[in-house]
Amino acid sequence: MILVDAALERLARAGRQIRVGMVGAGFMGRGIVLQVETAVPGMTVAAICARRLEAAERAYREAGRSVVRVVRDGADLDAAIDRQEAAITTAPEALVRADAVDVVLDVTGAVEFGAHVALLALAARKHLVTFSAEMDATVGPVLKATADRAGVVYTLADGDQPGVTMNLYRFVRGIGVRPVLCGNIKGLHDPYRNPTTQAAFARRWGQNPQMVTSFADGTKVAFEQAVVANATGMRVARRGMYGPTVAPGTPVQDAIHLFPPEVLLRGPGIVDYVVGASPAPGVFVVGTHDHPVQRRYLELYKLGPGPLYCFYRPYHLCHFEVHNAIARAVLFGDATVAPAGVTVEVVATAKVDLTRGQVLDGPGGYLTYGQCENTDVAREQRLLPMGLAEGCRLRRDVPRDAVLTFDDVEVPEGRLVVQLWRQQAEQFAVGVA
């Protein structure tokens, strides 16, 4: 990240820009356009694809772009960019196929639609930066393999917790400390929250109630930690992770002692989270060092006597940091966070007593929440991935808090994400400690 600012400034001085094609123009998308257009030299959001053109136009207007052109195909989009006009469209194909777009940024958060956008971008040999932990935790490994074959970068964004965690993980590993726990700090975890209970909060901040619910019910942290696990080779110590709750304001350095040290110090390490610790909503990495002299130095530097050392970042700033991931991908060929294998999945769990014939509503809904499970266990028990759950029809009743299996549901055929998941299950060996 320290290299990125200077590299972008050099690009700007040379009169060049990284031209971003963004898909999605919701709450997060508007913030990204505002940030890039007002604070990032050497980069521009050249085009936006959105279901509603007025949403894309609003994002540009709020960022001070006054000349906005509706385009229908890639040639129209290229022409608009050549005239220094902000291009908006409802057709993702036009955006990804335009020669003037260097990198595609997906901020839709939708698993199925995001997978379509991803394949379009990779087929066009465009770098892909996505905000969808849900998509990556479900089919990220097969998308990463597709990107590798195309010679482009597939990565999740910086600024969101998985990206910030991986930055910290790479720092810790880079100073010779072995990471044994990658953690997330949450302020709330109630698996029974739903879009009705979270409606007021969503209205206050202009956000989607289902997205807000996925934060509250634990589904989002499950997806985020699965992403980190698959990027690092780590696992979960148990289904759903430990997720200890501490008194509000408890320093995260104290909270790490709630995790069994024998679990942390053996195997490839684990991903997990803490509720209530400070500084929230940050991330932390716990590491260890075997060399007695280096451990003495770490104690001198106020990290304690060991054998566990806690490193943390007190914030993640989402749209303020996305440009770092974009620049790293385009200028340095570096992924902020991308899967190295398949070790952890997010499995669908009944939020209420479910009845035969019901159709599941997906992440952040009324019927299910997500939990992390090690992939070898999930495959052996035929557990239903949360990223495939939406639209599945129940074959039988399922009690609250039971994890759903493929035998419990009818999976709708014809969906791309289902095809990709099946391809991934065949193509990738399951990670086992």
Cα angle, residue 416 at apex, residues 412 and 422 outer, rounded to 5°: 80
DSSP notation for 328-385: HHHHH---SS--SSB-EEEEEEESS-B-TT-B---TTSSSEEEEEEEHHHHHHTTBPB
CB distance 340 to 213 below 8 Å: no
What's residue 174's pLDDT?
97
Give me the amino acid identity at 83.
Answer: R
What's residue 206's pLDDT?
82
Q: Which CATH class is domain 2-158+319-332?
A: alpha beta
What's residue 31's pLDDT?
97
Neighbours of 17 (CB within 10 A): 18
What's residue 432's pLDDT?
42
Torsion of CA 251, 253, 255, 257, to 10 degrees: -150
Q: What percent of the chain has pLDDT over 90?
A: 93
- Indicate the DSSP class of residue 52: S
pLDDT tier, 433 (very low <50, low <70, confident <90, very high otherwise): very low
CB distance 213 to 364 below 8 Å: yes
137 has a pLDDT exceeding 80:
yes
What's residue 211's pLDDT?
85
Tokens of 391: 């639209």
Least confident of 197-211, 266-280, 330-344, 397-411: 197-211
What's residue 431's pLDDT?
54
109 has a pLDDT exceeding 90:
no
| Helix, strand counts (H, E) of the chain | 18, 15
Q: What pLDDT digit, counting tens, does each position of 349-367 carry? A: 999 999 999 999 989 999 9
How far are the Cα atoms of 79, 95, 217 from residue 220, in angstroms, in the given order? 39, 28, 8
Residues recorded for the chain: 433
Q: In degrees rounded to 5, what are phi and psi of residue 423?
A: -60, -45
pLDDT mean over 153-177: 97
Q: What pLDDT digit, counting tens, does each position of 203-216 carry? A: 888 888 988 999 99
**Domain spans in the chain, listed from the N-terminal domain onward:** 2-158+319-332
Which is it for strands 127-130 and 154-156: parallel, antiparallel or unpaired?
A: parallel
Q: Provide the mean pLDDT of the chain.
A: 95
Pairwise CA distance, residues 407 & 403, whole Å:
11
Q: What pLDDT digit, counting tens, does each position of 47-62 carry? A: 999 999 999 999 999 9
pTM of the model: 0.96
